[in-house]
A and B are shown apart, each in its own frame.
Chain A
Amino acid sequence: MVGILETPFLWVVATIALYGVAYWGYGKWIDRNVWRSDAKKATPAHMYMDGVEYFPVSRYVLWGYQFKSVAALGPILGPFIGVTFGWLPALIWIIGGNFFIGWLQDYGSMMLSVRKEGRSFGPITYEFTGARGRTNLLAFVLFYLVIISAAFIALIATFWNSFKGTTFVPTIGILLTGLLCGQLLYRVKMNVFAVTAIGLALVGLSLYLGPILPVVLPFGLWNIAAWAGICVLILYVAAVLPTPTFIQPTNYIAFYPAFAAIILILIGALATPFTIGASPPVGIQLDMGPFLTDPQGILGPIWPILFVAIACGAVSGWHSLVSSSSSAKQLDIETDALPVGGGAMLSEGLLALASLIAYMVLTKSFVFGVAGDATNPPHTNTASWPVGAALLVSRIIGVGATNVLLTTFFGLVLVIYALTVQALVTRFFRLVAAETWSEGRFRIFGNKHVSTAVGLGVPWVFAVSGSWWALWLYFGGANQLLAGLAIMLISIHLARVRAPTKYSLIPGVFMVVTTLAALIWQTWTFLYSVWLFLQGDKSWIVRNVRGPIQADPNYILVAVGINAVFVLIGVVLFGVGLSMSIRLFRSYRSSVVEARGRAPAAADGGTRER
C-alpha cells in the first residue's frame, strides 16, 4: 500500500505484537516460574470474604476496574514531553518500559498483596523495613500527592485557558450532570440505565454548548491563576462532600466520553493507511530522533529525563497502590493476577501509544512551537493532543480535522481525565493527613476542611507560579521512584521465599537510580538558576516560572523565591526517597542472607517462608 511506511500503522501493529509477547511469553513465564501462581490456593477474597472489601470478583470485572483506575492523564501528557527527544525513544520506552518493568510492577504488587493476606503497601513496608520505613513512606506519599495536585491543577487551568475557552462549559455541564445523576440514583432511586441515558444526553448537550458559549477570562497573564483558583474551589467541594453525592456519579458519567476517546484514537491510529479520503494518508510528521539532549535546551539529557517524563504507559508507582489496596482483595484465583494486573498495564501502554501517535502526526512547529515566536512559543502548546486526536479520528468518521466539536470533545476529555483523578487525589490527601495528624500538636491539620485547604492551597501556589513541565518532571520523578520502591518490596518478598529475584531487582535498581538522578537533575536546574541570578544572569530564573511572574521584571524576586522553593522540594523528595531506598536495599540484603540460611526452598512460592 502506498505510503503505509509513512503512517503510524506498522508501529501500532509492532507494539501490539510486542505487548502480546510480554503477556503470553515473558508474563506467563514469570507467573509460572517466579511467583508460581496456583489456581487452587485460597485468595484473601475467599479467606476473609465480608462482601464489602473482600469478595471474589470475575477477572473481566476486575480488569475493567483496574484499567479504569490506572488510566488517566499520565499516558496522554507524558509522551508530550517525551517526544522532545524524538518519537522513537519515546516509543521504545513505552514498549521496553512496559515489557520489562511496568506490567511486572502492577502484577507483582498484586501478587505480593495476595500472598500477604490482602494487606496493602503500608503494612507490608512496616513488616519489611520497620516503623521508620512506614513513616518514611507516609512522608513520601504526602509530598507525592502535593506534587501530583500541583501538576494536575496547572494542567486543568491551562486546558481551560486553551481551545478558545470551549471546554469550560462542557466541564461544568458534566459536573452538574454528575450531581443530578447522584440525586436521581440515590434519592429518587431511578433505574441506573435511565439515569445513564439522561446523563449522557446532558453530556452531549454540554458538549454542543461548549463552542457556542466559550468562556475566555479577561485577566490576561493572570488567567491561569484565576482558572486554577476556580479548579481549586471545585476540587474542594468534591473532596469534602460525601463521595456518593459528587465524586462517584461525576466519575461515572465522565467515564463514557473518556473511554470513547481512547477507543476512537486507537481505531484511528490503526486505520491510518485505510481512512476515508486518505490521499495522502495521515502520516508521521514529527522528528524520529533520537536526540540525546533536549534540542530546545530546557529539559536536559535523555537519561534520566525521558524515563520520568513518560510515567503511566511505561511504568507508574501509583499503580502499585491501586493493585495492592483494592484489586488484590477481590482476586478470585491467583492466576487471575496476570490478566488483571499485567493485562491492564499493557493495555494502558496502548493508550500511551495512541497518545504518542496523536503527537507524531502533527508538525514539529505545532507541537513544540517556534523559538522567538511570541504567538507560538516553545513548550506551551498543550492543544497538541486534541488536535492530533481529532486528525486521526476525523478520517474514520468522515468530518474535517478542524471540526470544532471534535477538538472540543478531545479537549474536554483531557480536562475530565485530570479533574476526576485529581478529585480522588485530593480526597486521598485528606485521608492521609487525617491519619498523619489525627492527634498531637498539629491535629488541626487532620481536620477535614483544614487538610483539604492545605492539600489544594499549596499545590495552587505551585501551579500558578511554576511551569507545568517542571512540575510534571517532579511528579514523574516522585511517581517513578514510588514504582522503584514498590519493585524493591516485591524483590524483598521474593528473596524471603527464595524465588528468583533478578527479574524484579534489576528493574527496581534501574528505576530507583534513574528517578533519583532525575530528581537531582531537576533540583540542580533550579539551584543553578538561582546561582546564575546571583551572578547577574536572570534568563534561567524566569524560564522556570510562568507568566505574569515570567514577564514582569518587578516580580523577579518572586521568581527567585519560587526557584528556591523548588530547590527545597527537590531536596526533600530526594532525601526521603533516598532514605526509603537505602532501607529497602538493606532489607533486601538481609532477606537474601536469611533465606540462604534456610532450607528447603519454598516451592509453593511463599506460604512456607516462616
Chain B
Amino acid sequence: MADSKDPTTSKSRGRKVRDAAKGVMYGMAAHGHVTAALRTRMYLEHLFMFITLGDMLGVPVIPPYYSLRILPYAVPNIKSWKQRVFRERDFTDQVF
C-alpha cells in the first residue's frame, strides 16, 4: 500500500528519486489492482455485517444466537460500515 506524503521526513535526493521511481512503478503496475482487491473485500465485509446484524435491522438472516456470538467482532466495524453503505454511489464510480 502506498504511504502518504510526510513533509517532516528529510531524505537525500537519491533516496527521493528512488522512492519516486518505485512509487510510479507501483502506481502503474499494481495500485489499481490493490484498490480493486480492497473494494472486493469491502463488499464481502458489507455482506458479513448484513448477515450478522440483519435481525437487528428487521431482516433476520441467521438465528439471533449466532448473531450475538459474532456481535463483539462486528461492533468495531459498525461505524465504517454505516459510512460506506450510506455513501452515494453511481455508475460513474465503477469505471475502474
Contact = CB atoms under 8 A, between A and B. Distances in A.
A68 B32 CA distance: 9
B24 A50 contact: no
Contact of A141 (B5, B37, B91): B91
Given A64-B31, A67-B28, A68-B27, A122 B90 contact: yes
B95 A61 contact: no
A123 interface: yes
Contacts of A64: 23-29, 31
Given A51-B38, A65-B27, A119-B88, A251 B96 contact: no
State which size class the interface on A falls in.
35 or more
Interface in A326-373: 326, 330, 332-333
Contact of A333 (B5, B23, B28, B84): B5
B20 A248 contact: no
Contacts of B95: 321-322, 325-326, 424, 428
Interface in A568-602: none
B38 A256 contact: no
A321 B40 contact: no
A259 interface: yes
Interface in A65-109: 65-69
A435 B24 contact: no
Interface string B69-89: 000000000001001100110
B27 A63 contact: yes
A69 B19 CA distance: 21
B90 A123 contact: yes
B80 to A, nearest CB: 6
A138 interface: yes
| Interface-central residue, A56, A248, A324, by most chain B CB under 10 Å | A248
Interface in B38-59: 38-42
Interface string A409-441: 000000000000000100010011001100000
B29 A252 contact: yes
A346 B96 CA distance: 21
Given A64-B27, A120-B93, A252 B38 contact: no
A244 B26 contact: no
A50 B35 CA distance: 12
A374 interface: no
A432 B33 CA distance: 21
B28 A243 contact: no
A251 B42 contact: no
Given A48-B83, A120-B93, A57 B4 contact: yes
A432 B91 contact: yes
B68 interface: no
B39 to A, nearest CB: 6
A121 B92 CA distance: 6
Interface of B is mostly: helix
Interface in A217-264: 242-244, 248-249, 251-252, 255-256, 259
A324 B41 CA distance: 22
B62 interface: no
Contacts of B93: 120, 122, 325
A251 B32 CA distance: 10
B15 to A, nearest CB: 13
B94 interface: yes
B61 interface: no
Contacts of A326: 32, 35, 95-96
B28 A255 contact: yes
A224 to B, nearest CB: 29
A36 interface: no
Interface string B6-19: 00000000000001
B33 A251 contact: yes
Nearest to A57: B2
A406 to B, nearest CB: 23
Interface in A487-515: none
Contacts of B32: 65, 68-69, 251, 326
Interface string A266-294: 00000000000000000000000000000
A53 interface: yes
A428 B92 CA distance: 9
B27 A62 contact: yes
B30 A252 contact: yes
A571 B26 CA distance: 43
Contacts of B35: 52-53, 326, 330
Contacts of B96: 69, 322, 325-326, 424
A256 B96 CA distance: 19
B19 A60 contact: yes
Interface string A388-402: 000000000000000
A47 to B, nearest CB: 11
B92 A324 contact: yes
Nearest to A425: B95
Contacts of A67: 27-28
A50 B80 contact: yes
A58 interface: yes
B83 A123 contact: no
B94 A58 contact: no
A65 B28 contact: yes
Contacts of A62: 27, 31
B37 A259 contact: no
A269 to B, nearest CB: 21
A59 interface: yes
A198 to B, nearest CB: 15
Contacts of B27: 57, 60-68
Given A243-B36, A252-B30, A52 B42 contact: yes
B9 to A, nearest CB: 12
A437 to B, nearest CB: 12
A334 B38 CA distance: 24
Contacts of B40: 242-244
Given A53-B39, A65-B31, 13 more contacts: A51-B38, A56-B5, A58-B2, A59-B5, A63-B27, A64-B26, A64-B31, A119-B88, A123-B90, A137-B92, A243-B40, A244-B40, A436-B91
Interface of B: 2-5, 19-21, 23-33, 35-42, 80, 83-84, 87-88, 90-96
22 contacts: A48-B83, A57-B4, A57-B31, A58-B5, A58-B23, A60-B24, A64-B28, A68-B32, A69-B96, A122-B91, A123-B88, A141-B92, A244-B40, A249-B33, A251-B32, A322-B95, A325-B96, A326-B32, A333-B5, A424-B95, A428-B94, A431-B94
